[in-house]
Amino acid sequence: MSFRKDFMWGAATASFQIEGAWNEDGKSPSIWDEFCHRGGKIEDNSNGDIACDHYHKYKEDVKLMAELGLKAYRFSIAWTRILPEGTGRINEKGLEFYSDLVDELLKYNITPFVTLYHWDLPYCLQLKGGWTNPESPLWFEEYATAVIKKLGDRVKNFITFNEPSVFMGCGYAQGSHAPGYQLSTHDLLHIGHNIHLAHGRAVKVVRSLAPDAKVGITLASLPAIPFTKNDEEAAYESHFSISREFFFWSDAYWADPIVFGKYPEKLLEETKDIFPAFTDEDMKLISQKIDFIGLNIYQGHYIGDYKRLPGTPHTEIGWDTFDNALEAGVKHFTKRYNMPIYITENGLSCHDWESLDGKVHDPNRVDFLHRYLRGLKAAAEAGCDVRGYFQWSFMDNFEWAKGYNPRFGMVFCDYKTLKRIPKDSAYWYKEVIESNGENL
Ligand code: IFM
């Protein structure tokens, strides 16, 4: 079988990267507002104050999604709009914004996929230690409850966390992302456990408040790709390897406790002097059944006799391209976890601009998507349970510490005028969706 008949062809965004309206309608600052405003942290010294102004232009954006044939849209909720003090008082205006967005999507038959946490923790909670605080799973449960109570009647797909490895690795280990810390392995292990517990608590909330909804988590994966057929076993082994120093980059660190109810043995052994104490109850909470795993895959790394040559194809942001990254990633996850998979992000950053003819020509993006999607199709044909694909991103947006230079969108955003222009690749993607990937 190729792609299922009900395959979810979509695009994704995240609140901080597109919404703007950073201090409107009762929203409080997030760690990313604070990080940008601190100065010296973002390459082009920009911030998310206005971004794509999606907060005010969401109707125009959803109409464009419909015109481009999207069947699904993945977006995230800004915790700071819902609970400006992090916990306690609910800001109805914040909930209304997302409720209206959901209604607008449903009006056009676009299925909403809601990510609860895409990195914009309320700054007031960071002042209480953020994810290092043992109370953080409870804060998250309270926030998830407010969102799911409001949206759970219409949203049937929830994602608890986006890329915990990245917000922990870049934000708490390297310090290049908000909140900009460089913590010890001991502290990182505590943060990781808190995130796992928070995930479990949110799954519980979905099950009790929206029993007919599906819930999963999105991981950032850099699959180990076999360079030749002979490297397949080694690539699989390498993909789920783990080390004390960089445990948080390992897919096994995030997915094993959730699917198998166990942290990887090797990690427990290597960190037995500092691993946080946990109970059987913790592991039960963490490993409640989820319905899917979301994978964000852009790059990979070859296993085997591969030498990178100068001039190897790479994207504007500097990532090498790997035609079979989606295929390898999906096959490896299927082999280990045997679960439904969504590609919740994949895409290319280019130096796009508006041409003299008023259009945005992006042949490299068409070629990139074509190659990667062929790999995804091969995985589906090999029997992997792939349910959907979300291009990153619906439109150009704030690329974290890189600011606005990398353009990942299917739709170009002119940051001066906020005009949106669908790129050539958006029309190409529309044809892919119409043929359910048969034209790949
Ligand atoms: O922009 C990010 C997104 O927020 C998370 N995944 C990777 C994208 C590109 O870097």
Distance CA 135, CA 296 (A): 28
**Ligand 1: distance of its center to the CA of 399 in Å?**
7
Q: What atom of ligand 1 comes closest to residue 17's alpha carbon?
A: 4
The arithmetic mean of pLDDT across residues 170-178, rounded, is 98
**pLDDT of 432 above 90:** yes
Fold assignment, 8-434? TIM Barrel (3.20.20)
**Catalytic amino acids?**
163, 345
Token couple for 425 = 């690749």
Q: What atom of ligand 1 comes closest to residue 220's alpha carbon?
A: 6
Q: Tell me the residue length of the chain.
A: 440
What's 63's DSSP letter? H
**Ligand 1: distance of its center to the CA of 241 in Å?**
23
Token couple for 206 = 């979905």
Q: Cβ distance 304 to 238 under 8 Å? A: no
pLDDT in tens, 206-261: 999 999 999 999 999 999 999 999 999 999 999 999 999 999 999 999 999 999 99
Which amino acid is located at 123 in the chain?
Y
Q: What is the pLDDT of residue 1?
A: 75
Q: Cβ distance 346 to 295 under 8 Å? A: no
The arithmetic mean of pLDDT across residues 368-373, rounded, is 98
Q: What is the pLDDT of residue 178?
A: 98
Q: Which protein residue's CA is at the shortest distance from atom 2 of ligand 1?
A: 399
Mutate to test the pocket of ligand 1, among 399, 405, 407, 410 (most ligand atoms within 8 A of CB): 399
The arithmetic mean of pLDDT across residues 287-308, rounded, is 98
Distance CA 228, CA 250 (A): 23
Contact residues for 26 (Cβ-Cβ < 8 A; gap 6+): 81, 84, 91, 93, 94
Ligand 1 pocket, residues with Cβ under 6 angstroms: 14, 17, 163, 296, 345, 392, 399, 408
pTM recorded for the entire structure: 0.98
Q: What is the pLDDT of residue 240?
A: 98
**pLDDT of 160 above 80:** yes
Write down the domain spans for the chain: 8-434
Please provide the average confidence, as pLDDT, over all residues in the chain: 98
Report which of 431, 219, 197, 420 is spatially closest to residue 336, judged by C-alpha positions.
219
